[in-house]
Amino acid sequence: MSAPIDKVVVITGASSGIGEATAECLAAAGARVMLVARRADRMEALARRIEGAGGVAAFCVADVSDSAAMRRVADATVAAFRRIDVLVNNAGVMSISPLSDLKVEDWDSMIDINVKGPLYAMAAVLPVMLRQKSGHIINVASTLGHRVNGGATIYAATKAALLAISEGFRQEIGPDIRSTVISPGAVTSELHDGIADPALRERIAAAYEKALPAMAVANAILYAIAQPADVGINEIVIRPTSQNY
């Protein structure tokens, strides 16, 4: 059995899907987890489940697109656990539609939540990590950040932005703070529930017939965190073997 992960981990988007699985996986491995999302009831139930299994969890209701709220998350985490070792920037939305539909509000919310959200969270935790002289930022991007699929253009752009931010951060921040960007392919979650366009819904449903369970991504995140401090797992691409893009 491997050594317990003695770390404090902030996980955004922890109320469902990949974030929820990551919280369960890391807590089972010994991490103390701070859950962040907008749905309090889901996080409360998850925190209870984690504690029922012998783990340690707290939660903070926050919208990642609100920079002041993210600073409050960092303060609450330090108040509860005294440090922040890892930030998993996982919260995201995929309100996709053809560009010609001009759903500008959806473009705004994807940019606010998928790009500004991770930046606000990084800005909130970085002073703590710099003081500690240690830390790890993990950004959840997508295979669509590597290769655009028409119909999901703005979503893909937000994920490509995360790839750039993660690599630039790695180069700038130096050896004490690690940077990982993980790009999942099709994973079972609630991500597509809000897609209104019927043709896109149908395309997504076909692509997700053999989707991975969220726990597969959680295990990859655990792997990156569990490496010795001088080992940077900088990029991970994880997709079903049947996915060809």
Q: What are the catalytic residues?
A: 155
Q: Is 80 exposed, middle or buried (0-12, 13-18, 19+ CB in 10 A)?
A: middle
Largest CA distance in the chain: 53
Nearest 5°: the CA angle 16, 229, 32 is 35
217 in Cβ contact with 184 (< 8 Å): yes
By C-beta, is 6 or 190 nearer to ligand NAP? 190
Q: Is 16 near ligand NAP (CB under 6 A)?
A: yes
| Residue 139 near ligand NAP by CB under 6 A | no
**Smallest separation (angstroms) from ligand NAP to the CB of 39:** 3
Cα–Cα distance, 8 to 74 (Å, whole number):
11
Between the alpha carbon of residue 7 and those of residues 32, 100, 132, 172, the distances in Å are: 6, 46, 13, 23
Q: Which of 90, 166, 179, 180 binds ligand NAP (CB under 6 A)?
A: 90
Site for ligand NAP in 207-236 (CB under 6 A): 214
Judged by CB under 6 A, the residue of 64, 154, 195, 221 near ligand NAP is 64
Q: Is 55 in the site for ligand NAP (CB under 6 A)?
A: no
Residue nearer to ligand NAP on the CB measure, 38 or 83: 38
Residues of this chain that bind ligand NAP (CB under 6 A): 12-19, 37-39, 63-65, 90-94, 113, 140, 142, 184, 186-187, 189-191, 214
